[in-house]
Amino acid sequence: MGKVIRVLRDDFENFIDKGLSETDIYHTDIILTEPTHSNLTLRGKFYYLLFIKMARMSLKWYFKDLTVTATHFNVIEDLKTVSIRWKLEGTSRPANIFTSSDHLEPSIYEGVFTYKLSESGKVIVHKIDSIYPTPYFDRLLPKLAWWWWLRRSKPELSLSSSLPSRKE
């Protein structure tokens, strides 16, 4: 259980920059569940890791000055569970398009994840217990797509060496 706790602690502090450092702590049959808001359930290590990569990338696209910190760890060895209370802070990039960044307050989300370990000591369940304020998943994805489209459609001005030169 010690390795799982160490890896989870390190990964939380470095998640935005590095993602998951040691994927061998996750069981091949891991279940990710969010029963409260989205009713999301994913089964299998491949889909779990894919979802985590997508979530990390989406957070990096949507927020600037992003930090994720683990504010409290609770380990219950008898039940083989680890609960992590966390805090996410960042400034919304779409809001930054319309407002000076000097006037933007950072968005703050807090939540609790619970990890249950299998008999072999690997994470078999990752449950998203709570997120506050509630992210509205049906509203978030269109905003991300809209922001990405705006970002990609802005022309970039640059000097190019491929311009014809004037001959004297």
- For 31-54, write each residue's pLDDT tens digit: 999 988 778 899 999 999 999 999
User: Can you give the CATH number for the domain in which 12 is found?
Assistant: 3.10.450.50
Identity of the amino acid at 149: W
Q: Is residue 52 part of a domain?
A: yes
Element (H, E) at 58: helix 45-62
Maximum separation of any 2 CA atoms in the chain, in Å: 84
What CA dihedral angle connects 129, 131, 137 and 139, to 10 degrees?
Answer: 160
Q: Is residue 35 part of a domain?
A: yes
Backbone φ and ψ for 106, nearest 5 degrees, come out as -70, 150
More confident: 6 or 141: 6
The least confident of 4-13, 48-57, 74-83, 139-148 is 139-148
Helices (H), the chain: 2-18, 45-62, 93-98, 137-153
Q: Is residue 167 part of a domain?
A: no
Q: Is residue 48 part of a domain?
A: yes
- Structure-block tokens of residue 27: 């069981």
More confident: 149 or 64: 64
pLDDT for residue 168 is more than 50: no
Domain range for 108 is 2-152
- For 78-103, write each residue's pLDDT tens digit: 999 999 999 999 988 776 666 665 66
CB 89, CB 105: distance < 8 Å: no
List the beta bridge partners of residue 83: 74, 114
Q: Is residue 165 part of a domain?
A: no
Q: Is residue 25 part of a domain?
A: yes
Q: How confident is the model at residue 161 (pLDDT cuts 50, 70, 90)?
A: very low
The count of domains in the chain is 1
Q: Is residue 166 part of a domain?
A: no
Find the mean pLDDT for residues 136-141.
56
pLDDT for residue 157 is more than 70: no
